[in-house]
Amino acid sequence: MQKNIAELARLLNVKYKPDGHLEQAVVHRSYLNEHPDFPLAHNERLEFLGDAVLELVVTEYLYATYPNPEGELTTWRSALVNGDSLSELAQKLGVEPFLYLSRGEEKDINSKARHYILANAMEAIIGAIYLDFGWDKSKEFITDQVLSQLQGILDSRSYADPKSLFQEAAQSKMATTPSYRVLEESGPDHNKIFKIGVYLGKDLIAEGQGSSKQEAQVDAARQALIVKAW
């Protein structure tokens, strides 16, 4: 099913290039499994490129703007470019209806996997903008859409690492250090999903999911803070 990529370009506020990379940026691997004759490849190479462009633009801005120590800048950067932030941005920009997905993925609307797909597509879109329009346009897009979120993140302290916050609270309130255990692994090697539980002693407090063990631990700690109201 052909998508109206010119409309996607309009939503992203970039020029539509019929021979550009934007359409490939929204092609998920699963779609090609059902449509092997589709003329475009999936978006994972663009995602790889866009991730690097995004990180460099954000890093350059933080370095030039704030004299803070490396550790703080790294934390702020992570808050801007993590999967949750990019997934929210993709939803805000209206990317989701333009995704090329398998029938199974199409039905899986509000799952954690859909959030990963959206985040990855957002990185791929940045990679496409870089290839089609160059560094300056990529920087402009990232400044407008990503760096514009920084002040809100700083004001709300949402950049704070949930694992550190939960550990500090657990040690202060219960004299206990949290532990994390892998509960489940699923998905192919190139797209693993980990489910991890966070424990206080023998008690399972909350579960989290992520495309890496570290990401799943952070999600579990975030859920645990909510469960314990800390």
pLDDT of 205 reads 97
Q: Tokens standing for 186?
A: 């699923």
Instruction: Name the domain count of the chain.
Output: 2
The answer to whether residues 21 and 122 belong to one domain is: yes
The answer to whether residues 109 and 78 belong to one domain is: yes
Tell me the C-alpha distance between 158 and 156, whole Å: 5
- 160 φ/ψ angles, rounded to the nearest 5 degrees: -60, 135
Each residue's pLDDT tens digit, 55-81: 999 999 999 999 999 988 998 998 999
Each residue's pLDDT tens digit, 94-123: 999 999 999 989 887 777 789 999 999 999
Q: Is 51 a catalytic residue?
A: yes
Look at residues 140, 156, 172 and tell me which one is the last residue of a structural domain: 156
The answer to whether residues 114 and 186 belong to one domain is: no
The answer to whether residues 218 and 125 belong to one domain is: no
Each residue's pLDDT tens digit, 160-201: 778 988 998 999 999 999 999 999 999 888 778 999 999 999
Residue among 23, 51, 132, 219 flagged as catalytic: 51
Q: For the chain, where are the E strands, in sequence order?
A: 179-186, 193-200, 203-210
Residue among 105, 123, 132, 215 flagged as catalytic: 123
- For β-strands 193-200 and 203-210, DSSP reports them as antiparallel
The answer to whether residues 25 and 109 belong to one domain is: yes
Q: What is the DSSP letter of 187?
A: S
Of 200, 216, 183, residue with least CA distance to 116: 216
The answer to whether residues 138 and 193 belong to one domain is: no
Both ends of the chain: CA-CA distance in Å?
47
Each residue's pLDDT tens digit, 200-215: 999 999 999 988 999 8
Each residue's pLDDT tens digit, 32-47: 999 999 999 999 999 9
- 71 φ/ψ angles, rounded to the nearest 5 degrees: -60, -40
The answer to whether residues 129 and 49 belong to one domain is: yes
The answer to whether residues 116 and 54 belong to one domain is: yes
Q: What is the DSSP letter of 194?
A: E
Domain that holds residue 179: 162-228
Residue with tokens 């703080």: 72
Q: Is 203 a catalytic residue?
A: no
